[in-house]
């Protein structure tokens, strides 16, 4: 059997590797929201989690498999170590999906074998073959990864890959686990695999890489030129350490430069057909959703989705763009879903018009989500004369976030000024439904609010990041607040949007505290589960 694809498959691991980014922990409902959007984006495979790692991960994988893993949806995948219990958990969690994949892995570099696994090459070879075959007994689609492949001995790597494919692997993934290689090296490694693994034509070659040296995307593009046909990436490039290869950068590089890449896929150079199945118009919306739910802000100069990606300040650049966009823009902002449209909705607009506009913007909300968003829309419409699509997006993303609804902000009142001591009074509704009020003095109004909230919630934590961004221009703009706080070794994020930045700050802080509080109530991760990751 020969495995071929005329397109580059996009394997999204935002919900697995991306969530390993410190502070990016997502609950089950938030993962489901992102998974639905990834399906709209058009990714081919969603790595929904590591089913064996915790009951929460298992439930998330299972729920995504059931709701997103439909006939016309993406393949749903779970990570599993090359251990029977992991593979069994993955198979069970993936059972509801129409199309499912088990992704199993084991290290192959000598440094990992000696210091982490404490196993010989012969033992690893036998385990890889046995566990791929075991995974194959549950699903037809099995992916195998030799972890730390980039630092593995080439001959041993070829041997392991050949054995994995013979055992039933339909995809072999080549990870640059520590982000060590350069583009020419990575391309040569893929070429070497193509030339030296006898049965490589029976599997798709995938690549997975981290961005420690800022080379992940460049490495992947070189891998494509040498035969890789699946790219494992994350939205906004989030992930462990410096993150993963960025989905939006890879997709747009392949789209904008498709005439360059066409010959490497056996296509005519002039072909205009897309090289991936991604709907690029969903890129910006997906980026914003992931940023909001994880609390991981996108840097302004981030390629493709950064706030400055389509901004021009230089007079020469501005003059050129005004005359012809192509002078200084290699892609249209509308291609990734960015628009400058102003909606006509206002405080007199009805629910049907509101729903219709949201559909036009790509939001599919349940009745309960729509009701919540509509109430917020009316509140904002009373304060703003014009509401932009960016405002609508902020409202919807804020309202559909599924942080545990434990403590709720009922009242925020502050007193401050140049010659006054900042004082805040807050009222929170507790998980038991009781309203508690407290007050505090701080170095500023937000500090006072946070101290008052802490007195009510009474859970020790350390605020490590506080960020405010304006959604649109103008004095009546909606402000988005993102905060991150630390409890022991874990980091929790919170996000909120409001025209009153003090209120948004309070809501974001309570949002993060709710995640912390919920985590303390349910210790999900069982003992003995290794933190190994591809």
Can you give the CATH number for the domain in which 86 is found? 3.20.20.70
Assigned domain for 314 exists? no
Kindly report whether the global pTM for this prediction surpasses the value 0.95.
Answer: no
Same domain, yes or no: 368 and 420? no
Q: Can you give the pLDDT at residue 524?
A: 46
Same domain, yes or no: 146 and 203? yes
Of 378 and 152, the structure prediction assigns the larger pLDDT to 152
Question: Strand, helix or coil at 142?
Answer: strand
The neighbour count for residue 20, using CB atoms within 10 Å, is 19
Of 363 and 79, the structure prediction assigns the larger pLDDT to 79
Kindly indicate the confidence band of residue 473, based on its pLDDT and cuts at 50, 70 and 90.
Answer: low
Phi, psi angle pair for 370, to nearest 5°? -65, -40
Q: Can you give the pLDDT at residue 442?
A: 95
Kindly indicate the confidence band of residue 350, based on its pLDDT and cuts at 50, 70 and 90.
Answer: confident
Same domain, yes or no: 431 and 371? no
pLDDT digits (tens, 9 = 90+) for 47-93: 999 999 989 899 999 999 999 999 999 999 999 999 999 999 999 99
Kindly indicate the confidence band of residue 328, based on its pLDDT and cuts at 50, 70 and 90.
Answer: low
Same domain, yes or no: 28 and 109? yes
The answer to whether 131 touches 143, Cβ cutoff 8 Å, is no
Task: Give the CA dihedral 49, 52, 56, 62, nearest 10 degrees.
Answer: 60
Q: Which two tokens stand for residue 307?
A: 């706030």
Question: Strand, helix or coil at 369?
Answer: helix
Q: Has residue 530 got a pLDDT over 70?
A: no
Q: Has residue 249 got a pLDDT over 50?
A: yes
Q: From CA 444, how far away is CA 94, in angstroms rounded?
A: 50
Q: Provide mean pLDDT across the span 276-285.
A: 95
Kindly indicate the confidence band of residue 42, based on its pLDDT and cuts at 50, 70 and 90.
Answer: very high
Q: Has residue 3 got a pLDDT over 60?
A: no
CA angle (296 as vertex; 293, 300 as ends), nearest 5: 120
Residues 6+ apart with CB under 8 A from 16: 47, 48, 49, 50, 79
Phi, psi angle pair for 420, to nearest 5°? -125, 155
What is the DSSP annotation of 59-116?
Answer: HHHHHHHHHT--TTS-EEEEEEESSHHHHHHHHHHHTT-SSEEEEEEEE-SHHHIIII
Q: Can you give the pLDDT at residue 2?
A: 44
Q: Has residue 432 got a pLDDT over 50?
A: yes
Same domain, yes or no: 389 and 424? no
Assigned domain for 346 exists? no
Same domain, yes or no: 263 and 381? no
- For the chain, percent of residues with pLDDT exceeding 90: 60
> Pairing state of beta strands 45-49 and 9-12?
parallel
The answer to whether 177 touches 534, Cβ cutoff 8 Å, is yes
Cα 468 to Cα 165, 297, 301, 477, 508, distances in angstroms: 50, 10, 17, 12, 11
pLDDT digits (tens, 9 = 90+) for 493-511: 888 888 899 999 999 999 8
Kindly indicate the confidence band of residue 478, based on its pLDDT and cuts at 50, 70 and 90.
Answer: confident
Q: Has residue 321 got a pLDDT over 60?
A: no
Diameter of the chain measured on Cα atoms: 79
Assigned domain for 191 exists? yes
Assigned domain for 22 exists? yes
Same domain, yes or no: 380 and 503? no
Q: Has residue 533 got a pLDDT over 70?
A: no
Q: From CA 300, how far away is CA 372, in angstroms rounded?
A: 30
Same domain, yes or no: 392 and 448? no
> Of 294, 314, 333, which one is at a domain's C-terminal end?
294
Q: Has residue 232 got a pLDDT over 60?
A: yes
Q: Can you give the pLDDT at residue 194?
A: 97
Assigned domain for 338 exists? no
Nearest by Cα to 3 from 158, 103, 140, 95: 140
- Cβ-based burial of 163 (10 A; exposed 0-12, middle 13-18, buried ≥19): buried
Nearest by Cα to 76 from 105, 21, 36, 106: 36
Question: Strand, helix or coil at 64?
Answer: helix
Q: Has residue 324 got a pLDDT over 70?
A: no
The DSSP 8-state label assigned to residue 114 in this structure reads: I
Same domain, yes or no: 216 and 259? yes
Nearest by Cα to 177 from 207, 136, 140, 147: 147
pLDDT digits (tens, 9 = 90+) for 386-405: 677 777 877 777 666 656 67
Same domain, yes or no: 412 and 373? no
Assigned domain for 527 exists? no
User: What sign has the CA pseudo-torsion 478, 479, 484, 485?
Assistant: negative
Nearest by Cα to 63 from 96, 21, 90: 96
> Of 250, 279, 294, which one is at a domain's C-terminal end?
294
Phi, psi angle pair for 487, to nearest 5°? -130, 115
Q: Has residue 522 got a pLDDT over 50?
A: yes
Q: Provide mean pLDDT across the span 329-334.
A: 80
Most confident of 28-42, 134-148, 359-373: 134-148
> Of 265, 294, 323, which one is at a domain's C-terminal end?
294
Q: Can you give the pLDDT at residue 405?
A: 74
Same domain, yes or no: 367 and 466? no
Residues 6+ apart with CB under 8 A from 313: none
Can you give the CATH number for the domain in which 493 is found? 3.30.160.270
Residues in the chain: 534
Of 13 and 350, the structure prediction assigns the larger pLDDT to 13
Assigned domain for 325 exists? no
Nearest by Cα to 237 from 249, 253, 255, 219: 249
The neighbour count for residue 528, using CB atoms within 10 Å, is 5
Q: Can you give the pLDDT at residue 323?
A: 53
pLDDT digits (tens, 9 = 90+) for 189-209: 999 999 999 999 999 999 999
Q: Can you give the pLDDT at residue 404?
A: 67
Same domain, yes or no: 89 and 133? yes
Assigned domain for 322 exists? no
Q: Can you give the pLDDT at residue 4?
A: 58
Q: 506 is in which domain, residue-wise?
A: 408-521
**How many structural domains is the chain composed of?**
3
Please, what is the average pLDDT of the chain?
Answer: 88
Of 23 and 190, the structure prediction assigns the larger pLDDT to 190
């Amino acid at each position: 059997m020969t495995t071929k694809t005329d397109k580059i498959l996009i394997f999204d691991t935002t919900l697995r590797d991306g969530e390993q980014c410190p502070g990016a922990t997502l609950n089950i409902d938030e993962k489901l929201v992102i998974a639905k959007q990834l399906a709209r984006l058009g990714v081919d495979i969603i790595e929904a989690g590591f089913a064996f790692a915790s009951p929460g991960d298992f439930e998330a994988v299972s729920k995504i498999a059931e709701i997103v893993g439909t006939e016309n949806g993406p393949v749903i995948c779970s990570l599993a170590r090359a251990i029977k219990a992991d593979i069994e958990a993955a198979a069970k969690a993936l059972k509801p999906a129409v199309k499912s994949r088990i992704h199993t892995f084991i290290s192959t570099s000598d440094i990992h074998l000696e210091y982490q696994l404490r196993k010989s090459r012969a033992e690893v070879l036998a385990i890889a073959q046995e566990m791929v075959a075991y995974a194959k007994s549950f699903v037809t689609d099995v992916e195998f990864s030799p972890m730390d492949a980039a630092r593995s001995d080439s001959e041993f790597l070829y041997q392991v890959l050949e054995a994995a494919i013979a055992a039933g692997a339909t995809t072999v993934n080549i990870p640059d686990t520590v982000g060590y290689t350069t583009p020419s090296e990575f391309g040569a490694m893929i070429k070497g695999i193509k030339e030296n693994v006898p049965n490589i034509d029976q599997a798709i070659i995938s690549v997975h890489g981290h961005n420690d040296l800022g080379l992940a995307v460049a490495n992947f593009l070189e891998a494509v030129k040498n035969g890789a046909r699946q790219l494992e990436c994350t939205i906004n490039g989030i992930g462990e350490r410096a993150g993963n290869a960025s989905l939006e950068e890879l997709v747009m590089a392949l789209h904008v430069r498709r005439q360059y890449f066409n010959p490497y896929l056996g296509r005519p150079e002039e072909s205009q057909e897309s090289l991936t199945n991604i709907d690029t118009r969903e890129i910006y919306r997906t980026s914003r959703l992931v940023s909001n739910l994880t609390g991981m802000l996108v840097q302004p100069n981030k390629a493709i989705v950064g706030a400055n990606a389509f901004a021009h300040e230089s007079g020469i650049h501005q003059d050129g763009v005004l005359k012809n966009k192509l002078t200084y823009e290699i892609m249209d902002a509308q291609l990734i879903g960015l628009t400058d449209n102003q909606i006509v909705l206002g405080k007199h607009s009805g629910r049907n018009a509101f729903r219709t506009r949201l559909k036009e913007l790509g939001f599919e909300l349940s009745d309960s989500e729509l009701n919540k968003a509509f109430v917020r829309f009316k509140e904002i419409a009373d304060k703003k004369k014009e509401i932009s699509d960016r405002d609508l997006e902020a409202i919807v993303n804020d309202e559909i976030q599924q942080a545990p609804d434990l403590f709720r902000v009922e009242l925020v009142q502050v007193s401050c000024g140049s010659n006054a001591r900042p004082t805040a009074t807050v009222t929170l509704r507790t998980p038991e439904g009781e309203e508690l009020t407290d007050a505090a003095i701080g170095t500023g109004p937000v500090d006072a609010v946070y101290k008052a909230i802490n007195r009510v919630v009474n859970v020790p934590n350390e605020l490590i990041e506080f960020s405010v961004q304006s959604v649109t221009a103008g004095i009546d703009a909606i402000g988005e607040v993102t905060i991150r706080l630390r409890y022991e070794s874990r980091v929790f994020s919170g996000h909120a949007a409001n025209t009153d930045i003090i209120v948004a700050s309070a809501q974001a802080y309570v949002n993060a505290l709710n995640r912390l509080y919920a985590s303390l109530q349910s210790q999900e991760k069982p003992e003995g589960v290794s933190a190994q990751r591809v």
